Structure 1
Amino acid sequence: MKGKFFNLLLVLATTSSLIAGTVAAPDPNFHIYLAFGQSNMEGQGPIEPQDRIPEKRYQVLSTFGNCDGREVGKWYDAVPPLARCFARVGPMDYFGRTLAKKLPEEIKIGAVIVAVGGCSIQLFEKDNYMNYKLENYMVDVVKNYGGNPYKRLIDVAKLAQKDGVIKGILLHQGESNNGQTNWPYRVKAVYENILNDLGLKAEEVPLLAGEVVQTSEGGQCGGMNKIINTLPNVIPTAHVVSSVGLKQQGDGYHFSTEAYREFGERYAEEMLKILGDVKVIDTSDNDSCWSEALGYSCCTNSSSPVVYTDDDGQWSVENNEWCGILKNNSSNHSCWANTLGYQCCNTSNCRNIIYEDNDGQWDVDNNQWCGITSENKIC
């Protein structure tokens, strides 16, 4: 018994730091959306008072530092500018707000946005971005994205995956690739890189791409919409969001603030159609093994003693390995011997009262004392 106790102490000493370093499993009711593109994805609509009212269930994970006190990799209320300093209202503002409004209140929305005004799709090509000739006005923007906008998107998205589940990828880009018929194939490569780098599946994470300003609205690149609309032919999980009827600011490229709001709503409506009937996932399901998400099995002994407690739950040890104690384990909660550092006796066979003291009645399991409870049958 003494040797067995020593082995247990050794396990606790060598692995307690691993348990202490675990984090809570991602919240399946926290829906994350990635977004990338050029100036229309940044947002170029003048910000009005109504845009500054936060939606409590919509947050943005900052990809751009030194901006209004924000730090890269931290969550903030999703009020403009979302993408970077000096950006304005864009489609992502009202995309997230609309989802929050129309999805069950238990579901939160998060956004990760990287966008560079005027950029070609090349800037997001992980093996080709370094050959991109930046315009002077892009240099500081790209620098603040760590010199590699694609990598910044991936790095921050990985942080987001610790908190929630990525549900979709939004794109608004194409003006700087106007008329290039190979653009859909280049977008496909970027999309597939994102999926691969984040361990995502296309059938679970669709791509939503928005049209540019229509020619009928004075758009300078309206002809690009014909190419944008071929995306679903190249990417089966791609969906195109119409810009028909959306007004522009007068420069032929950028939508008005009102149009950005409606555009964001259109992106959201398309996503809602894809999502279908969204069910809230019960994260308080006590019968499920919560510790599996952290790489550990749950304890098989219903009366396993609590040897460590953290934000995730209560832990015990079986076969010199950590195991999570099921949260609805009534046997564990009623086990008076746990407070003394012992398990309660297994209920699979009758028990003999070998010893009795002021604490209770005792038997032996696996050469260890165990406390007898009302659930045990006396032989």
Structure 2
Amino acid sequence: MKIKILGTALLTLLALKGVSQDPKFYIFLCLGQSNMEGNARFEPQDTVVNKRLQVLEAVDCPNLGRVKGNWYTAAPPLCRCYTGITPADYFGRTLVEHLPEKIRIGIINVSVAGAKIEVFQQGAYQTYLSTAPDWMKNTATEYGGNPYARLVEMAKIAQRSGVIKGILLHQGESNTNDTLWTKKVQEVYTKLIKDLGLKAKKVPLIAGEVVNADQGGICASMNRIINQLPQTIPNSYVISSAGCPTGTDHLHFTAGGYRMLGKRYGIKMLELLGYKVPVTE
């Protein structure tokens, strides 16, 4: 009987070891609106991906052969089934290119086109969505009606495999000139840190500017507010969008613009991880 018990205990320990966290699997949470979803169509050059870059699917995508809650090689789209190239694509590729080969990168992207930051606030999202257009409600429905809760759900799954190293945000167009935006972002960030058992000092928030004034960005005035984020969240950093090409709507980036912006996110994260990377664009 004792041998049987010991054998069972050994098998249990081996099983637990098999699903333990890999400290060399770096996880990054991505959230925002259409520019984080990825508005531009990805191109052939974007479909070749190193297997060290993984995406945790946040929705079921039969067209991609992906199931919610499972890891896949991070070929675009990284957000939902029919979205485009996102800053997260080249953020991840930049990390994979410059980090040691033993380190893998995992991306989780939960974003809602056209949505204010309120869609991620647990005290505000229901009221906000109650008056939202049907297409936005349909997107939220893909996330079970609560995008924040889906992000946390996926993050907890990811924590079984790796370690959350950072949070990426690209949002603000729908909150243009909202002077309370930084406080609202702080609320979302602080709740994520608490709900996932993280330490704010170890998990930076990296936020990108909206389409810049030098590209005729129609929401460029929001960048003044976005750049105030580090005054509210100490461990936060803002990525410039200057020079990143925009589409004809001057609201969304081109595929090239997403690549450029994503690389900038990646270079900043590498810097925070202690690596120096030559800036080339």
TM-score where L is the length of structure 2: 0.92
Aligned to 1:317: none
Residue-by-residue CA offset, 1:207-239 (whole Å, 9 max, x unaligned): 000000012211111000000000000000000
Please identify which structure carries the higher helix content: 2
150, 153, 160: which one pairs with 1:152? 150
Q: 2-side partners of 1:58 and 1:173: how far apart? A: 24
Q: 2-side partners of 1:14 and 1:24: how far apart? A: 17
Query: 1:134 Cα deviation (Å)?
Result: 2.3
Q: 1-side partners of 2:102 and 2:61: how far apart? A: 32
- Is the counterpart of residue 51 in structure 1 residue 49 in structure 2? no
Aligned to 2:193: 195
Q: 1-side partners of 2:133 and 2:95: how far apart? A: 35
Query: 1:140 Cα deviation (Å)?
Result: 1.9
Aligned to 1:37: 32
Aligned to 2:70: 74
Query: 1:24 Cα deviation (Å)?
Result: 3.0
Query: 1:57 Cα deviation (Å)?
Result: 1.0
Aligned Cα root-mean-square deviation (Å):
1.7
Query: 1:10 Cα deviation (Å)?
Result: 7.9
- The change in CA–CA distance for 1:16 and 1:127 in structure 2 (over 3 A counts) is farther
Query: 1:43 Cα deviation (Å)?
Result: 0.4
Q: 2-side partners of 1:198 and 1:69: how far apart? A: 28
Q: 1-side partners of 2:119 and 2:60: how far apart? A: 20
- The change in CA–CA distance for 1:248 and 1:102 in structure 2 (over 3 A counts) is same
Tell whether the 8 Å contact from 2:117 to 2:172 is kept in structure 1 after alignment. yes
The structure with the largest alpha-carbon Rg is: 1
Query: 1:79 Cα deviation (Å)?
Result: 1.1
> Could you list the runs of 5+ residues in structure 2 that have no partner in the other structure?
277-281
Query: 1:175 Cα deviation (Å)?
Result: 0.5
Q: 1-side partners of 2:184 and 2:99: how far apart? A: 33
Aligned to 2:249: 251
Query: 1:129 Cα deviation (Å)?
Result: 1.1
Identical aligned residues as a percent: 47
What residue identity is the alignment partner of 2:70? K
Query: 1:47 Cα deviation (Å)?
Result: 1.4
Pairing 1:37-186 to 2, within 5 Å after superposition = 37-67=32-62, 68-132=64-128, 133-186=131-184
Pairing 1:199-348 to 2, within 5 Å after superposition = 199-277=197-275
TM-score where L is the length of structure 1: 0.69
- The change in CA–CA distance for 1:215 and 1:155 in structure 2 (over 3 A counts) is same
Query: 1:15 Cα deviation (Å)?
Result: 5.3
- The change in CA–CA distance for 1:135 and 1:15 in structure 2 (over 3 A counts) is same
Q: 1-side partners of 2:80 and 2:140: how far apart? A: 11
What residue identity is the alignment partner of 1:41? M
